[in-house]
Structure 1
Amino acid sequence: MPNALTSKALASWALASRPAVMASRVVPASASAANRRDRPDAMTHPPHPVVTRDTILCEGRPVTIERFAPHGKDAPATATVILLHDAEGPGSDRPVRAEAAALADAGFAVLLPHYLDRTGEARVGFSGISRHFGAWRDALETVRAQVPGPVALVGRSLGGALALALAARAPGANAALVLRATFLPPELGTGPLALPPALALHGARDALVGPSHPETLRLRMEEAGGTCRVHLYPDQGHAFDPATDADATARGVGFLKRAFGPI
């Protein structure tokens, strides 16, 4: 469990329109210009969105959390997105960082937890996912518990599976899900799934996580009275090319704006 000081610092991120310098270190976040060209909604990212870092303790392990400050918004009126990277981590060359910048530019407060810190990895393979999934989920529950107000969970691949696991434990606590190339974690069983509204973005040629996964998710959510929109990219595999990645990000932003209403 986090100590009181770091818990308060994390909770304040969703309420402060500017980062507190005394509590966090400010670093630049990269954004790929190639990911921003020829996009239908012509979203533009700030060249250097303000990013702060803090650390919380989860079962005695330090977990870094980055916050991308919402661009041009006051935080009391700003919804929070918890963005969950894939098994390759949140490194400076990873596309999840451009997605974080786009979400912040759209007015969301974005938290990017380095959840692999919980088990001491920089990246992880199949055996590690099977071994550590529960530990990462529990660490992310600690993160989620410190954030007041409405929250959306956005995840890529492994991060999307963790988002599903979190949302299934407390479906009423989250406003929306955006899932990219996401598999259904075994702990969700096989029955109806009561989850918040979801958008599933998937490559039809995904050989790692087949396109049956988002379709199964849609059917199981509908059985529970929920809604899940599925968008398949016919020429994409598990990892999207830069143009498709940018399109998926734009679709996710639009979905979240509709889910939250004016922000």
Structure 2
Amino acid sequence: MKTALTIAGSDSSGGAGIQADIKTFSAHGVFGMSVITAVTAQNTQKVIDVQDMTPDIIGKQIDAIFQDIEVDAVKIGMVSQIKSIEIIAEKLNIYKPTNLVLDPVMVSKSGYKLLNPMAIDTLVKEILPLSYVITPNIPEAEEIAGIRIDTFKDMEWAAKRIYDMGPKYVLIKGGHMPGDATDLLYDGKNAKYLEGKRINTKNTHGTGCTLSSAIASNLALGFCIDEAVKKAKDYITLAVKYSLSLGKGVGPTNHFYELYRKAGIKID
């Protein structure tokens, strides 16, 4: 069985973070493992508080996995602090995993800063060069590339700047752009646009986590980057289309829609 490891924060409401990643791995038939970088107290309305794990326990969790189980893909999500990023980079340089997907989580949907602004440079310096693909949304791409993105040409320019920082591929998610949800995949030479219809729903909690984990799952299963991203985009589109109206705020995506449908389970 193929495996995938998520290095990210825990979401107590289950819609994003480690919980979304494990659900996504499972939905793809991939065995999921986790390294918890932080525990958040959050729900569909807001992030109440965050407790970061110590760099020592983060490092020991990574050791525990790689010293025992073969890892086919790694997804990195919420990592808040400089020391946490440094220990993750140190361990990744030791174990040298393939198929590393970086989702540079910076701000929650409710506006809570999940990445210490002082740590952005460390993330760029230490993790980007190790990444197979990075999956920023528009605001994250603007922060990393240092430019404003208003047009598709701006997306291309940002992708080129981020590519020069070390990852093999850059996927800029276009959900913050007007119109349809069009993403951009850049390989250092060619920019490929992946079109998708925008779905009219407020329930999009955990979409970034879910998409990056779906990409990691598909890479673990042996798909090339183009196919992995396409399949992941199809997966998240269905998960958002049939999202769940749980809680009083931004509800989660439906990670198991296809499995429920095939099993004849009706989810209202």
In which range does the TM-score fall when normalised by the shorter chain?
0.3 to 0.5
Higher RCO (CA-CA < 8 Å; seq separation 6+):
2
